[in-house]
Amino acid sequence: MPYTIAEKILLKHSGQKSIKPGEFIQAKVDVALANDITAPLAISEFKKSGFKQVFSKDKIVLVPDHFAPAKDLKSANQCKVLANFAKEQGIKNYFEIGSMGIEHALLPEKGIVMPGDLIIGADSHTCTYGALGAYATGMGSTDLARAYIDGKCWLKVPASIKFIYKGKLKKWVSGKDLILYTIGQIGVDGALYKVMEFSGPVIRKLGMDDRFSMCNMAIEAGARAGLIEPDEKTKKYVAGFKRKPKFYYSDPDAHYEKIYEWDVTKLEPQVACPHLPSNVKPAGSLKNIKIDQSVIGSCTNGRISDLRIAASLLKGKKVAKGVKLIVFPATQKIYLQAVKEGLAEIFVKAGGIFSTPTCGPCLGGHMGILADGEVAIATTNRNFLGRMGSPKSFVYLSNPAVAAASAIAGKITPP
């Protein structure tokens, strides 16, 4: 029976002889992830179960990143729950301040997630790791607590939708623009409980950072997972990690519920306007939208290539008067690399700030949340009403080049 890459991974982890979309399966997980918001509930439920020891000290990952460094007493106590549990259980992959990063950039960087893995996380953007050719999906904290007990979870096998991108991308157009365009075309429920499989010659030319960005936002179209088949770039990325990858590929005659095919040669940088990731327009069509803040970073666009793009536009320039530029590198490694390359100095000299890795204002956390009436351009992944602070604020989503150019202009503008 022919299978998609997602179905092959789920079949392998279920131990069954066959599976089909719509079927419920029980599967073994390779990685169970949680952060300072979602882990405390999972830990509480695990303790209530009466079990004393987690199923694996190596496969559970705890990353305090959403409100860390702790912004207040409540967030400090949340982070302490993770620290205590990691110590009690001897959990290997616990990342404290100084070693932590934004979880969805940190795990691939550390080689914790690998091609062929089944990864569950109590965070909706766990789908990021599909860029490696893994099946990665978000779950609730109670689902995670169950996995802590025996390393298994229940899943409903999703159908797959294939997206084929042809042509050649223009300068300043990236994976972020491809996924924004895609969500704009199909809507925030256009892939509801489906797998989005990204393919075609344009995808094969994308670097890993752009692929992570695309898979990260699959959830914004309602998808359970976003996947890209492994290729030589994938193999180069994971080479040298301790764990051995398992590469899966879709069969030529695999069934897809739908197939979309676009020539993106003429695609311009895209911007998702308030208050949905699907409210997408070309950046050049947005006239005189003044901004109060530009945010560059997050689990979507806080990698070193993103910072290089932003710095290339900001070098020798100044941020417009009245605009706050906040740059969040996604991990400590990226932070150090940005310092070594002089990128941090460029951001500061331009009139911005260069932060320690944290989710920051993306979820309305801290270090840059918006006040009533304020407008932000951000390289983050969601712009729901009140997402970044006040329900009377406005968030526009873009790639790093648009965010940097807009910071200089004081209004949304393409580079």
What is the mean pLDDT for each group of 10 consecutive residues in the chain (415 residues)? 96 96 97 97 95 96 95 95 97 94 97 98 97 97 96 97 98 98 97 98 97 98 98 96 95 97 98 97 95 97 98 98 97 97 98 95 93 98 95 98 98 97
Domain end marker among 226, 261, 296: 261
- In terms of domains, do 357 and 308 share one? yes
Q: The domain containing residue 318 runs over which residues?
A: 270-409
Domain end marker among 239, 261, 283: 261
- In terms of domains, do 243 and 333 share one? no
Rounded CA gap, 296 and 274, in Å? 18
Rounded CA gap, 76 and 357, in Å? 16
- In terms of domains, do 234 and 95 share one? yes
Residue 335 lies in a domain: yes
Residue 135 lies in a domain: yes
- In terms of domains, do 244 and 305 share one? no
Domain end marker among 261, 296, 313: 261
Strand-pairing partners, residue 106, are none
Which uninterrupted H or E stretch holds 60?
Answer: strand 60-63
- In terms of domains, do 47 and 112 share one? yes
- In terms of domains, do 112 and 142 share one? yes
- CATH code at position 335: 3.30.499.10
Q: Residue 120's pLDDT is what?
A: 98
Q: Residue 1's pLDDT is what?
A: 87
**Phi then psi dihedrals of residue 218, to 5 deg:** -60, -35
- In terms of domains, do 213 and 285 share one? no
- In terms of domains, do 51 and 159 share one? yes
Residue 415 lies in a domain: no
- In terms of domains, do 144 and 179 share one? yes
- DSSP SS3 for 86: helix
Q: How many domains does the chain have?
A: 2
- In terms of domains, do 274 and 256 share one? no
- In terms of domains, do 112 and 221 share one? yes
Q: Residue 279's pLDDT is what?
A: 97
- In terms of domains, do 310 and 211 share one? no
Residue 76 lies in a domain: yes
DSSP 8-state symbol, 273: P
